[in-house]
Structure 1
Amino acid sequence: MTDPLSGKTPGVYINEINAFPNSIVQVPTAVPAFIGYTPKAEYNGKNYLNKPVKVNSFSEFEEYFMPARPAQPYSPQYYITEQSAAPANGDYLTLKNKIYTLDPDPNTIYYLYNSVRLFYQNGGGTAYIVSVGGYGSPSEAAMAHDENIVNPNIKLSELKAGLQTLTKETEPTMYVVPEATLLSKDDNASLMQAMLGQSEEMETAVSILDVLGGHSPDPVLYTQDIEGFREGVGSKGLCYGVAYYPFLKTTITQGSELGYTNFNGGNTDALFALLQNLEGANPALEEAIALIKNASTDANVGDMNQALMIVSKVYKELFNSLLSEVNVLPPSGAMAGIYTVVDNNRGVWVPPANVSISAAIKPTLDINNRMQEDLNVPSDGKAVNALRLFIGRGVLVWGARTLEGNSSDWRYINVRRTMIMLEQSIKMAIRAYVFEPNDANTWVNVQSMISSFLNSVWKQGGLVGSKPADAFNVSVGLGSTMTPEDILDGIMRVTVKVAITHPAEFVIITFQQQMQKG
């Protein structure tokens, strides 16, 4: 401000002096970026393909990326296949002493839509959506029952391109690609490595990963899925990655959203012939089938589907099995929502674990303590966090480790995410001091600003220590962090040390009997 006494006219002048230093505002910590396929990517006539779109609710997501009602937003196709024996993994039905499975047309399986729904069901808020393409054509055939679902309509190059668009966005703090598990094994590995590499380069987001094979894990050979995952993630950016296993059986999709058109590629003749063969003489079934065949194209499929379930016990079993299959989802969407809830209610420094997952019935594999030992503490450090069902408590997140499990610094996801928050918050505030004089006045202001921010975090429980001096230290100045040459070169160095809370992962209670007294 110009000195008021420099004026030459007699009078009263006011000179305002800043009483308070600049402050640091904590950056958002729970903003996932979902990348994948949607039926459309258009709003008000504008195309949003491969453009990150910020949404704040599920209804806003639908406006941009889903077709107008009453069209089915997502219509997977499943084929009814008779099996010679009960499969070792996956669900199956026994009808009239015959074993049947529902096997998907892999070209019709997508996860983004339901994963976003699962995100908001678990408390999600603001999110970025990157649509990389629309739904492709069906293959009109079922895949083999014992294979992982690979959708050829999902392209590695398109998902990578969508991921690349986020290099210009600093607000997202999580990368989530639910449809990564619909790629081939090699493509899945390539995408995971790209996600971890970009997370490490940006230093603003962690990658939440799903494990290939978690959809229908074999109770004995599931360890092969885990080993394949650990080989696939590579060795870079591991402290920015976190994985969850297995998939979840959810209640996201309701029965009213599906119908008999989701069987056998919409071939109702094949479905009805099977029902008539298994049911035998059933006049009510024949009447319902005739009604459906004579209905107009704009008839209410939902009502007729409900009527078909009432008159046919076999169809009801088939439909409930279909609903169960469609509701098997990768857990990354749910975890993004849980991160949001924990961050908002308790703080980013609290581990997102020992938390129940909403809309989840059970995991696709029942993991016990023995099975989790290698998942949680493997020799290579690439920990996979287990999702487990506990009687009376529901499905819980039972792990909080990153893929850098052998690092004492970055073993836990809350430590990594807290450091991202601190680094980015301080970085944004320090920009105000670029080109300021590199002298003692500036150093004091910077030190005071950072210390005040860290003191606030410590009071909230984000830093460990009985007093602020034990929780953090901020150093800046000539002789402590800088040399005369640094000042001549225009470099101001600030050193920040913090003690971040670590979770009590293993709680050990020791019991000992004592002698009777008195």
Structure 2
Amino acid sequence: MLKSNIKTPGVYINEVNDFSNDVIPVATAVPAFIGYTPQAVYEGKSYTNVAQRVTSFAEFKAIYCFPDPPAPAQPAKQYQPQYYLVPQKAQPAAGDYLLLDGTYYVLLPDPDTVYYLYNSIRLFFENGGAETYIVSVGSYGPSSGKAANFGEQVINANVQLNDLLHGLQLLSNESAPTLYICPDATLLSVADNGSLMQAMLKQSSGMMTSVSVFDIIGGKNPDPIQYMNDITAFRNNTGVEGLSYGAAYYPFIGTTIMQSSEIDYTNLFGSDVKQLAGILNPPANPNMAVAEIISNMETAPNALSVAQYNQTLLNASKTYGQIISHVLADANLLPPSGAMAGVMTTMDNQNSVWTSPANVSIVGGVSLPIKLSDGQQGNLNVDVVSGKSVNVIRFFNGIGILVWGARTLDGNSMDWRYISVRRTMNFLEQSCKQAAQAYVFAPNVKNTWETVKSMISSFLTNIWKQGGLQGASAADAFSVDCGLGTTMTSDDILNGFMNVTVKVAVVRPAEFIEFTFQQQMAVSS
């Protein structure tokens, strides 16, 4: 209270704040997913091209999924990929194939019906995900009506680079997301995917709030011999800017996200049961039960539900069950980025942001399309030319599938080699930045400097006590400087600058643990 404001006789109380403001830790695991959803409407309002925060899968489903019809009708299908069985003259040298009645078939999707965001969100929540942002850039587009070319990359013509770039740009107005994830990016061409990744890294490094998590084209069906070609293409297309703000994971993961009830004959041949009949009821090996079921499906499609017709086909034909199993397995091969967002959320909540999101399993992960060895991983983990490390998801006998890598794309940097270091620094920087907002326009004098130093020092002391900083004492773990002659000149003060210098000793992971064994002579006691 200013004395000049006191004009009436009496007793006045003037309270003095004894404690400085606190630094409130910012959230560390808030992913933002960009991609295509079944729909984006809630209560008549469109959520297309809107950065919307959701906190549960139920909330995601309410906004971005088709509403379920009233019981007893089956739940609405949210994802309807189409597959074709294409006959081959001989046994394929690689890839997924089936041998049916002496004929080899390869299972190929209609590329324009393949999307990854919906199932990636499910994988995220299954792995411990909580709060997230969704940017739906559109709904699913029309099918092409034909199978992808065998052995070629699946490119969805409905997935457009400009759509995803626009969704990314919307996130430039949001400071809360700490992870950028775009599972549908692998459905772009290699060149367009590279443009998107470079834009994500540029925005991440510019905002200094997030890390971009990448999937690698070719990670779904890697060639066991030539898989490094996909890694090389990835490294050649990520550019050189903002590499410490990016992390890549390889390969895709076979999951149990989609259940058998979500795949049926409507996922085959564009729902053309006549083409299916030619495989299930061939002239050389007729199946009269199948013939009758398919005849009923054509003449009385509404006599039974899709689920009931599907079950009768499963009962009548082992071949049909074999086909559905292969379709389900392929649809369940997902990019790992959604799972990694959930893993990072769980690690942050159970441990801390400075704990590496590695040496942990993935909930729902049951298989890998390629099982890499120690020697094979070495070339992915360390690249002496580009330094662009790729984190491998591996299978270990007796243990299962583990995330076995903890590096950023800036693998040759001593400062920013590890994901945990990058994310910890983002956490410390943004927490201190938010707290310092209270002192914008405050007098640029010693009292303010000391208050800011005290506030940040108290925050970093707590982080050190929790194990987030190295050092036998707090003084060894960090230092905070702010003042005339140390971080500022007289010109700085005249120009309105208050400079604070913070140095921290961040915890780093023990990536390589080496034991030294040496023999010694026996000694008498």
- Which TM-score bucket, shorter chain as reference? over 0.9
SS at match of 2:436: helix
Show the 5 A alignment for 1:427-442.
427-442=433-448
Partner of 1:150 in structure 2? 155
Q: 1:510: Cα distance to partner?
A: 2.1
* Closer/same/farther in 2, CA of residues 213 and 478 from structure 1, 3 Å limit: same
Match of 2:205 among 194, 200, 204: 200
Q: How does 1:16-415 map to 2 (within 5 A)?
A: 16-69=15-68, 70-277=75-282, 280-297=285-302, 299-379=304-384, 380-415=386-421
Return the letter of the residue paired with 1:509. Answer: F
Displacement of 1:393 in angstroms is: 1.9
CA distance in 2, matches of 1:382, 1:352: 18
The whole-number CA distance in structure 2 between the counterparts of 1:370 and 1:172 is 36
Please tell me the residue identity of whatever aligns with 1:26: P
* Mapped contact 1:88–1:218 kept (Cα < 8 A): no
**Change in CA separation of 1:51 and 1:423 when aligned onto 2, cut-off 3 Å:** same
Given the superposition, is the C-alpha separation of residues 89 and 412 from structure 1 closer, same or farther in structure 2, using an over 3 Å criterion? farther
AA paired with 1:227? T
After superposition, give the CA deviation of every residue in 1:119-167 in whole Å (9 maximum; x if it has no partner): 0111100110001111111110001120110001111011101100001
> C-alpha deviations, 1:265-291, integer Å up to 9, x for none?
111111012101188243433343344
Quote the Cα distance in structure 2 between the aligned partners of 1:108 and 1:422: 42
Q: Does 1:489 align with 2:495?
A: yes
**Which is further off, 442-451 or 280-289?**
280-289
The TM-score, its normalising length taken from structure 1, stands at: 0.97
CA displacement 1:183-212 (0-9 Å, x = unmatched): 011101111111111111111111000111
1:475 to 471, 477, 481: 481
Letter in 1 for 2:46: N
Give the structure-2-normalised TM-score: 0.96
Which amino acid in the other structure matches residue 357 of structure 1?
I
C-alpha separation between the residues in 2 aligned to 1:452 and 1:264?
A: 64
Q: Is the 8 A contact 1:193 1:234 kept in 2?
A: yes
For 1:490-509, what aligned pairs fall within 5 Å after superposition?
490-509=496-515
Q: SS of 1:277's equivalent? A: coil
1:5–1:293: structure 2 CA closer, same or farther, 3 Å change rule? closer
Aligned partners of 2:428 and 2:122: how far apart in 1? 30
**Alpha-carbon distance in 2 for matches of 1:402, 1:294:** 58
Kept in 1, the 8 Å contact 2:243–2:408? The answer is: yes
Give CA deviations for 1:456-511 in whole Å, capped at 9, x if unaligned.
11111111111100110000011111112211221111000000000000011222
AA aligned to 1:310 is: N
Residues 279, 312 of structure 1: 8 Å contact kept:
no
Instruction: Classify the secondary structure of the residue corresponding to 1:198.
Output: helix
Aligned to 2:9: 9
Aligned residues: 517
Equivalent pair of 1:385/1:401 in contact (CA under 8 Å): yes
Return the letter of the residue paired with 1:167. Answer: S
Aligned counterpart, 1:421: 427
Q: Distance in 2 between matches of 1:217 and 1:347?
A: 34
Whole-Å separation in 2 of the counterparts to 1:515 and 1:310: 72
When the two chains are superposed, the root-mean-square deviation of aligned CA atoms in Å is: 1.6
The answer to whether the 8 Å contact 1:89/1:217 transfers is no
Q: How far apart are the structure 2 equivalents of 1:213 and 1:330?
A: 10
What per-residue deviation string (whole Å, max 9, x for no partner) do you get for residues 289-336 of structure 1? 344334444842123212211221111110100000110111000001
Residues 1:423 and 1:255: Cα distance change in structure 2 (over 3 Å): same
- The DSSP-based 3-state class of the residue aligned with 1:133 is coil
The 10-residue stretch of structure 1 (205-214 or 290-299) with the greater mean CA deviation from structure 2:
290-299
The aligned amino acid for 2:228 is T
Bigger shift: residues 94-103 or 466-475: 94-103
- Would the aligned equivalents of 1:351 and 1:400 in 2 still touch at CA under 8 Å? yes
- Counterpart-to-counterpart distance in 1, 2:300 and 2:451: 76
| Aligned 8 A contact 2:95 2:221 in 1 | yes
Matched residue SS, 2:472: coil
Residue 171 of structure 1 aligns with an amino acid whose one-letter code is: A
8 A Cα contact 1:66 1:73, kept in partner = yes
Residues in 2 aligned to 1:132 and 1:461: alpha-carbon distance in whole angstroms: 41
The DSSP-based 3-state class of the residue aligned with 1:343 is: helix
Question: Once the two structures are superposed, what CA deviation does each residue of 1:157-179 show, in whole Å capped at 9, x if it has no partner?
Answer: 11101100001000000110001
**CA drift at 1:92:** 1.5
Q: Is the 8 A contact 1:196 1:236 kept in 2?
A: yes
Partner of 2:71: none
| 1:132 and 1:159 in contact (8 A); partners too | yes
Distance 1:432 1:86 in 2: 69
Q: CA deviation at 1:399?
A: 0.3
Q: Distance in 1 between matches of 2:499 and 2:340?
A: 37
- Contact 1:123 1:338 (8 Å CA) reproduced: yes
Question: Any conservation in 1 of the 2:368–2:395 contact (CA below 8 Å)?
Answer: yes
CA distance in structure 2 between the partners assigned to 1:146 and 1:308 by the alignment: 30
Q: Is the 8 A contact 2:281 2:288 kept in 1?
A: no
Contact 2:219-2:252 within 8 A present in 1 as well: yes
Which ranges in structure 1 are unaligned for 5 or more consecutive residues? none
Classify the secondary structure of the residue corresponding to 1:137: coil
Unaligned runs of 5+ in 2: 69-74
| Pair 1:236–1:85, CA change in 2 (3 A) | farther
Give the Å deviation of 1:5. Answer: 9.7
